Chains A and B, each alone.
Chain A
Amino acid sequence: MSLVTAQHLEKTYRMGDISVTAIRGVDFTIEPASFVSFVGPSGSGKSTLLNMIGCLDPPTGGTLQVAGQDIARMDRRQAAKFRGEHIGFVFQDFNLLPVLTVFENVEYPLLMVQNWPARKRKQRVSELLEAVGMGDQGKKYPSQISGGQKQRVAVARALVTNAKLVLADEPTANLDGETANRIIHLMKKMRDEFDTTFVFSTHDPKVMRNAEIVFTLEDGNLLKLHSNQEGAHA
């Protein structure tokens, strides 16, 4: 069963009398444990599509199922609960909470979203920090680590809840080439280790080459699919 299934998916924004269509009836599926990239120029609809898959923005047309759930039918609280249980996010600006340490940032979803018991929580966070190579940086605050390290912490935070799907909007845009490459390889390694599906958007050709499946978007339309292996269908 596909992890993400979109049929005739549309998104139109209304600003007064003006309507702007960001996604124009696209169809695609994403299989579990795949490593997928949406690429395209600015304004092509990559972020909108990722926001819809992440239950942050409801579609205005078509259907979108994530982990067997119809996203369009969820209210605010249900969507928040669903995100907390099934989806991890990695942001372009890392978005770590500055008042929390590296350890506490990774711990946050388990503590404030899923209410895990303390011992289990500590074990899981330590395991994830080790996996992303930040095991010895747990006590530092985000202001005390580099951009690449912050993104590693963000990846750990996205994976800590055993999310089925991690969405990363331009995860390497604020990193230098070498660090960006390391982050993409880390995400791939995490996919292999935890069987988590990674979906990210980028317009960096070096980064998109690392994706196993690449969807190209232009002006809200899904133009083509490059696939190095089975895992997605457009």
Chain B
Amino acid sequence: MLNVIKIAARNLRRYLRRTILTSALITLGVCAVLLFISITGSFKQMMVGQITDAMLGHLQVHRRGYLASIDNLPLNRNLNEKQVRKVESIMGGIDGIASYSERIRLGAMFSNFTETTNIRLNAFIPDREVKTVPLLADRVLEGKKDGPLLERGQILIPELIAKGMKVNVGDSIVLVANNKDGSVNGKTFTVCGVLEGISGPGGRDGAIHLEDAKELLRIAGVEITEIAIRLKNMALLPEALAALQSALDEFKDKNGNPVFEVHSWEKLSPFYNIAKMIDLMTFFIKILLVAIVLVSIMNVMIMAVYERINEIGTIAAIGTQPGRIMALFVAEGFLLGVLGTALGTVISLISIAAINAAGINFDFGRQSNLLLTPTIGAGDVISIVLIVIGIAVAASMQPAFKAARMDPITALRHV
């Protein structure tokens, strides 16, 4: 086999310009794909990380029907104490769950004593919330950076309201909210920080302590809108979702319908569609690469066979078996694929390192100065390398087969 490779390599060197052009085309294709995968992959990973670690958590449990009316922030679809305890006991039996945070979601009137606007609020127990969505603390743009995220009587206000209503850290504001019976209650809060807005549901909500929300809404006992869950590892998501779903589905109401609904971040965030779109684009970029490799290698190999008909006749006449003639040409395609892939991979890895070293920032939605940190997994590199080399070999099969099947006499007579 080494001899076949040696002869194939010499034939490639013989047509050096063509070999360089073809492998440059493959190199370009491999670079384009690897850079695209690394940049979009890291963007996707960063956005998913932001969404799950700064806002949603990996999973959320609600009372059935809550999600359909989530825009109204209904208070009559909260989980009661018995239901919350059931969910807590089920979560205790699932290994992959790292932490969870119970939340009340509400809408209120926000007043700085001169102007009023509406605000959506997320109420939670700060230390449990930080364990469940650890990047939430990083979203505090102004205000205290040390100690608990917020204390009773304090509020984290969204960036837009802070700017629009000229509210600063330390100012007093009033929240007025309707409870589920329709009565109105108000409570004064001190602004302890400004929260950076991020894309997606809940990305522009303010935050207060769970006990303050209960006081504002006059909730006695336990009432929870949602339970946000953080898993030990994102890879455990399908397994944990299935376990939780099947355990919670056993609880039915009087009409026989499930009491709870469980959703992964994918169902809760519109970014999931963008992530799917990125995956689709990656797939099409790979198809494009396959087409580039297929066409360029096939073209070169057809040319190679046509130009060497007389040589094919000679080696066939002196007894070279058709399989070995085929191997000689397939080896040329293989080497072209290997050469293009090796160069493409090396250039891509250097480019990725250069992008990371350059520290390129970009904006996405309301978020600005996001740092582009492209990375590429060994699995992605290996799969691209195998695809390109596989296609290179496949593309040389037809011309190689033609060479192997060539009639020696016809080939020897070819001028």
Contact = CB atoms under 8 A, between A and B. Distances in A.
B412 interface: yes
Contact of A99 (B10, B318, B319): B10
A155 B179 CA distance: 105
A56 interface: yes
Contacts of B3: 111-112
Contact of A108 (B11, B318, B408): B318
Interface stretch (A82-90, A185-193, A217-225): A82-90
Given A99-B14, A100-B7, A83 B311 contact: no
A56 B412 CA distance: 11
B408 A100 contact: no
A112 B315 contact: yes
Contacts of B310: 93, 95
Task: Give the residue among A51, A80, A161 with the most B Cβ atoms within 10 A.
Answer: A80
Given A80-B321, A83-B318, A84-B319, A91 B412 contact: yes
Nearest to B311: A97
Nearest to B323: A77
B288 interface: no
A165 to B, nearest CB: 13
Given A56-B408, A56-B409, A111-B3, A84 B14 contact: no
A109 interface: yes
Interface string B14-26: 1000000000000
B83 interface: no
Contacts of A76: 322
B318 A113 contact: yes
A93 B310 CA distance: 10
B319 A113 contact: yes
Which of the four size classes fits the interface of chain A?
A: 20 to 34
A82 B320 CA distance: 10
Contacts of A80: 316, 319-322
Nearest to B7: A99
B319 A83 contact: yes
A81 interface: yes
A33 to B, nearest CB: 21
A80 B317 CA distance: 7
Interface in A93-150: 93, 95, 97-100, 108-109, 111-114
Interface string B165-180: 0000000000000000
A199 to B, nearest CB: 15
B319 A57 contact: no
Interface string B316-336: 111111101000000000000
B320 A51 contact: no
A88 B14 CA distance: 27
A54 interface: yes
A81 B316 CA distance: 10
A95 B7 CA distance: 16
Given A98-B14, A99-B7, A77 B322 contact: yes
Contacts of A56: 317, 408-409
Chain B CB within 10 Å — which of A76, A93, A109, A112 has the most?
A112
A45 B338 CA distance: 48
B408 A113 contact: no
B106 to A, nearest CB: 79
Nearest to A76: B322
Contact of A113 (B4, B7, B10, B320): B320
A152 interface: no
Interface string B292-323: 00000000000000000011011111111110
A136 to B, nearest CB: 23
For B3, B315, B318, the residue with the greatest tally of chain A CB atoms inside 10 Å of its CB is B318
A97 B315 CA distance: 9
A173 B165 CA distance: 101
Contacts of A98: 14, 311
A87 to B, nearest CB: 8
Contacts of A100: 7, 10
A46 interface: no
Nearest to A111: B3
A95 B320 contact: no
15 contacts: A80-B321, A84-B318, A85-B319, A91-B314, A93-B310, A95-B412, A97-B314, A99-B7, A99-B11, A99-B14, A109-B318, A112-B315, A112-B324, A113-B318, A113-B319
- What are the 4 tightest A-B residue pairs by CB atom distance, in nearest-first order? A84-B319, A99-B10, A95-B314, A113-B319
Interface of B: 3-4, 7, 10-11, 13-14, 310-311, 313-322, 324, 408-409, 412
